Copies of this chain bind each other. A is one copy, B any other.
Amino acid sequence: MTVQPQSVGIVEARRVAFDEPLTLRCGATLPGYELVYETYGELNQDASNAVLICHALSGSHHVAGVYADNPKNTGWWDNLIGPGKPLDTRRFFVIGVNNLGGCFGSTGPATLHPETGKPWGADFPFVTVEDWVHTQARLADHLGIQRFAAVMGGSLGGMQAMSWSLQYPERVAHVIAIASAPHLSTENIAFNEVARQANLSDPDFHGGHYYTHGVVPARGLRLARMLGHITYLSDDSLAQKFGRALRHGKASFSYDIEFEVESYLRYQGERFAKFFDANTYLLTTRALDYFDPALEYGGDLAAALAPATADFLLVSFSTDWRFSPARSREIVHALVKNRLRVSYAEIPSPAGHDSFLLDNPQYHAVLRSYFARIGEQTCR
């Protein structure tokens, strides 16, 4: 097996169990839970070079590298993380973790309930960005990391990074929030609601207890993902990628695939329905909806961000209409009001929200130089 140059190579997921009960924001208490995570690079002597990567809606702990038994399964941010890459694993110790409530190995709706021996299903409690950050802090304890050099994420991952600076200001030196927002817009909540209803109304959902029926609400997951994909791209990038090309050169008057974009969306939907869990999808969209640190400050984001002491890097992309540059600028303004050190880059990109996952040279150059600065500052 050949490994790509600058790849972290073959990686292995690890699992850690926490026995201490965890009370969630929703009021429920989990008696204990497990988190699945991966690490790349080496933790240095004084544990000052750790970077936590927080994942978005459909992400996981598998951030970089490949698996020995599945060499095509490359981590979702592999283009960014590795020896010599913008987040250089020769210098930094990088951690990816599957969030609580997830469907890639951490305790979640598909996990067996300790009392009933059946999957939690719809009884799994609601989890929030704040809860995730608390569990990530337990993972940091476990790994012997008192303070992260950086916590970084895109989209929902950026919300977690931001929340770190409020919940554990003394434990994070730099926050990197990419294509993120201080809270979802009404339109975003509306899209989430359609995606949720697609799942909730699928007859195979069985009130969230589909596991015991031996089915999955694949129709709902497919629709949710198709819709999501439209909003992760820009109008222009869809036009550029697929145009109005007719599969058969002319209209064949059917509901089969006529236009190339239909083929793309159906493929993405099919694929997603095979690997993602509907209950995790529902929980995660609600976590997105609920995230709003300014809420208890009457909408005053600057007041909400007052506890933060970290340095910040915000990045947005010109054609991202789901988490537009204007949303990142709201965060920048609120941070500046708090006299924090803030860097902000608005990257020209045709690719919409998806840009945060892509190999855009300008974007990667910004991250490279920012991590170089972190390296000089925090990793002795």
Contact check: which of B223, B261, B290, B292 meets A189 at CB < 8 Å? B261
Residues of B within 8 A of A186 (CB): 235, 238-239, 241-244, 259, 261
Q: How many copies does the complex hold?
A: 2
How many residues on the A side are at the interface (Cβ–Cβ under 8 A)? 52
Docked Cα-Cα span, A187 to B233, in Å, equals: 9
Mark A250-267 against chain B: 1 for CB-CB distance below 8 A, else 0.
010111001101100110
Docked Cα-Cα span, A350 to B265, in Å, equals: 30
Q: Is A32 an interface residue (CB 8 A)?
A: no
Mark A11-42 against chain B: 1 for CB-CB distance below 8 A, else 0.
00000000000000111000000000000000
Mark A131-157 against chain B: 1 for CB-CB distance below 8 A, else 0.
000000000000000000000000000
CB pair A197–B223 under 8 Å, yes or no, is yes
Shortest distance from the beta carbon of A297 to any chain B beta carbon, whole Å = 14
Q: Is A183 an interface residue (CB 8 A)?
A: yes
Shortest distance from the beta carbon of A184 to any chain B beta carbon, whole Å = 8
Q: Is A91 an interface residue (CB 8 A)?
A: no
CB pair A189–B235 under 8 Å, yes or no, is no
Determine chain A's interface SS by DSSP, over half rule: helix
CB pair A227–B194 under 8 Å, yes or no, is yes
Segment touching B, from A76-84, A161-169, A170-178, A198-206: A198-206
Q: Can you list 7 pairs linking A and B with CB atoms under 8 Å apart?
A: A27-B253, A125-B253, A185-B235, A193-B259, A194-B223, A201-B223, A227-B227
With A194-B223, A197-B223 given, name 14 new contacts (CB 8 A).
A27-B253, A126-B254, A184-B244, A186-B238, A186-B244, A186-B261, A190-B265, A193-B226, A193-B261, A193-B266, A194-B226, A194-B227, A201-B223, A251-B290
Residues of A in contact with B (beta carbons under 8 Å apart): 25-27, 125-126, 183-187, 189-191, 193-194, 196-198, 200-203, 219, 222-223, 226-227, 230, 235, 238-239, 241-244, 251, 253-255, 258-259, 261-262, 265-266, 269, 282, 286, 289-290, 292, 321
